[in-house]
A and B are shown apart, each in its own frame.
Chain A
Amino acid sequence: MDTVNALILAFISIVIVNNLVFTKFLGICPYLGVSGRIDMAFGMGMAVTFVVTLSGTLTYMINNWILMRLGLDVARYVCFILVIAGAVQLVEMYIRKFFPSLYESFGIFLPLITTNCAILGLCLFLDLWGVGSLLEAVVLSFGAGVGFTMAICIMAGIRENLKMADVPECLKGAPITLITAGLLALAFMGFAGMIR
């Protein structure tokens, strides 16, 4: 029971309290770039969730079972990027095959998931936080993806409504988006310290 409790707490922590977008400011590029429409934002969130779960799990295994044992900690970044790039390629092929319209609308942002720093950040955080078990690593990776999806969907919802709002001329477009992002981050700072 303790393990389950710990896992649930870890999940809530990574989704809300230590949300990578809101508290670590990682993955801002797709967060602002693809949050124009809520369906696209959700699709991007799903893609990132898949990539981050896969690469988080794989990198945890590679890190703990290969790199640490061989004393090759220096090669961590290179290996992680390799794993992430491979996972993104996989996702790209899958989306192109089964969701062509989504593939079109993502455009350059789909291959750019490779350089989404939320993913590399999560892989490195797993090491930094000293995550003890593979199960916890999987839960944290999946939670990071869910957290990203939540963040980008909230943003997209707000931005869809902002189109109807009477925004001052000088703040239209990027400025009001950045202000919104800042306010959202501030709001989520309220959870800080609740868990861990």
Chain B
Amino acid sequence: MIVSYCVSRIAYLLFFVASAAPGEGVGKILLAGAMMLGLGTGFAVVLLIASKKLKVEVDPKIEQIHAALPNLDCGACGFAGCGSYAKAVLDDPELLGKCAPGGSEVLDAIASILNLQVSDSGPAKRPIVHCRSRRDQRTFHAEYYGIPSCTAANALANAQACKFGCLGFGDCTRACKFDALHVVEGLATVDYDKCTGCTACSKACPRGLIEMVPFGQENMMTVACNSIETGKAARSMCKVGCIGCGVCAKQTDQFIVEDNLARLDYTRYEPSEAAEKAMQKCPTGVIVYRGPTAPEPRQPKEKPAAVAEAKKGD
């Protein structure tokens, strides 16, 4: 489409020039074209000779590794692009496995190029947003009219009541190169089918809400909150925040409550009845599943029943 547009523009230009000064205009264009062609050819010849004379021998392994990499230039490995990572990993095999989008396949490919054996590095890491609060579940003291960016809003005290939760201005969305993160009703939501685990979002979030978690299961259970406020304060700010009541920790020791905030030990997590029960008993419903086929989280309006049950359990 662009090509046809360009062709039509050039044709129009030619027509315009030809009609303005018949004969002379076209001649000039041809002259200019011939001159540019001549200059270009001249430089091409000089550069060709130079490239032959100044040829640099490059280790063919670098090119092989580069070809094995996904060529996304996402920067997850900490290098400027796939090219510089290929060079670095050849010098220092310790850097193997830094390519998050490539995962274990690329790791094996590079290892075989370098004649190395790799041990299993555990499940791939994927981001989890430690907040589950939609816009209508949060408390706002004032309306924010500032720059629509999380970093800017985070610099203000009162962009929203909760000082820990998702701000929903999408710094992570802009950081994501794979269209795998979207702000849905004010909450950053990961599309796990598109996510490659490149860690760009976790670096972009000014509140450090997005943690890279080893996904041992297809769907991981998580405490989707980052607030260390006391229970009462957390409740006043958010309908679905963690109040640090410790009901979940009583069900299974996979949950640990520290600083009024429950956390799941992701490395030890396995689907179990106890974990499921902890999720059901959570008074604010902050324990949810995250993953490609995660079920919709429970609505917070079921709260009273859950609280009553939790009290009975005590």
The answer to whether B36 touches A86, judged by C-beta atoms less than 8 angstroms apart, is no
The answer to whether A82 touches B46, judged by C-beta atoms less than 8 angstroms apart, is no
Min CB gap A22→B, angstroms: 31
The answer to whether A79 touches B56, judged by C-beta atoms less than 8 angstroms apart, is no
List residues of B (25-58) whose CB comes within 8 Å of A's CBs.
28, 31-32, 35-36, 39-40, 43, 46-47, 50-51, 54-56
Chain B residues with CB under 8 A of A75: 32, 35-36
The answer to whether A82 touches B39, judged by C-beta atoms less than 8 angstroms apart, is yes
Min CB gap A53→B, angstroms: 16
The answer to whether A70 touches B31, judged by C-beta atoms less than 8 angstroms apart, is yes
Min CB gap A116→B, angstroms: 18
Q: Mark B47-74, 1 if CB is under 8 A from A, else 0.
A: 1001100111000000000000000000
Cα–Cα distance between A90 and B54 once the two chains are bound (Å): 9
Cα–Cα distance between A100 and B311 once the two chains are bound (Å): 71
Cα–Cα distance between A82 and B31 once the two chains are bound (Å): 17
The answer to whether B47 touches A62, judged by C-beta atoms less than 8 angstroms apart, is no
User: Which of these, A62, A72, A93, A100, contacts B50 with CB under 8 Å?
Assistant: A93
User: Which of these, A72, A97, A107, contacts B32 with CB under 8 Å?
Assistant: A72
The answer to whether A78 touches B43, judged by C-beta atoms less than 8 angstroms apart, is no
Interface residue count for A (Cβ, 8 Å)? 21
Please, which residue of chain B has its CB at the minimum distance from the CB of A72? B32
Given contacts A75-B32, A86-B46, A86-B47, A62 and B56 within 8 Å (CB-CB): no
Chain B residues with CB under 8 A of A66: 35
User: Which of these, B28, B39, B46, B80, contacts A79 with CB under 8 Å?
Assistant: B39
User: Which of these, A82, A89, A93, A97, contacts B36 with CB under 8 Å?
Assistant: A82
Given contacts A75-B36, A90-B50, A83 and B43 within 8 Å (CB-CB): yes
Interface of B is mostly: helix
Cα–Cα distance between A24 and B214 once the two chains are bound (Å): 54
Chain B residues with CB under 8 A of A90: 46-47, 50
Whether, in the assembled complex, A163 has its beta carbon less than 8 Å from a beta carbon of chain B, the answer is no
Chain A residues with CB under 8 A of B35: 66-67, 70, 72, 75, 79
Candidate in B28, B35, B80 with the most chain A CB atoms within 10 angstroms: B35
Chain A residues with CB under 8 A of B40: 82
Cα–Cα distance between A196 and B260 once the two chains are bound (Å): 74
List residues of A (42-73) whose CB comes within 8 Å of B's CBs.
62, 66-67, 70-72
User: Which of these, A67, A89, A96, A97, contacts B47 with CB under 8 Å?
Assistant: A89
Cα–Cα distance between A100 and B56 once the two chains are bound (Å): 10
Whether, in the assembled complex, A94 has its beta carbon less than 8 Å from a beta carbon of chain B, the answer is yes
The answer to whether A72 touches B28, judged by C-beta atoms less than 8 angstroms apart, is yes
The answer to whether B47 touches A78, judged by C-beta atoms less than 8 angstroms apart, is no
Cα–Cα distance between A11 and B28 once the two chains are bound (Å): 37
Please, which residue of chain B has its CB at the minimum distance from the CB of A95? B54
The answer to whether A107 touches B80, judged by C-beta atoms less than 8 angstroms apart, is yes
Given contacts A70-B35, A75-B36, A79-B36, A86 and B43 within 8 Å (CB-CB): yes
Chain A residues with CB under 8 A of B50: 89-90, 93-94
Chain A residues with CB under 8 A of B39: 62, 79, 82-83
Chain B residues with CB under 8 A of A79: 35-36, 39
Cα–Cα distance between A67 and B31 once the two chains are bound (Å): 10
Chain B residues with CB under 8 A of A86: 43, 46-47
Please, which residue of chain A has its CB at the minimum distance from the CB of B58? A96
Given A72-B35, A90-B47, A93-B51, 4 more pairs with CB closer than 8 A: A75-B36, A82-B43, A94-B54, A107-B80
27 cross-chain CB contacts under 8 A: A66-B35, A70-B35, A71-B28, A72-B28, A72-B31, A72-B35, A74-B32, A75-B32, A75-B35, A78-B36, A79-B35, A79-B36, A82-B36, A82-B39, A82-B40, A86-B43, A86-B47, A89-B47, A93-B47, A93-B51, A93-B54, A94-B50, A94-B54, A96-B54, A96-B56, A97-B54, A107-B80
What 8 pairs between A and B have smallest CB-CB spacing? A86-B43, A93-B54, A97-B54, A75-B32, A72-B32, A93-B50, A96-B56, A89-B47
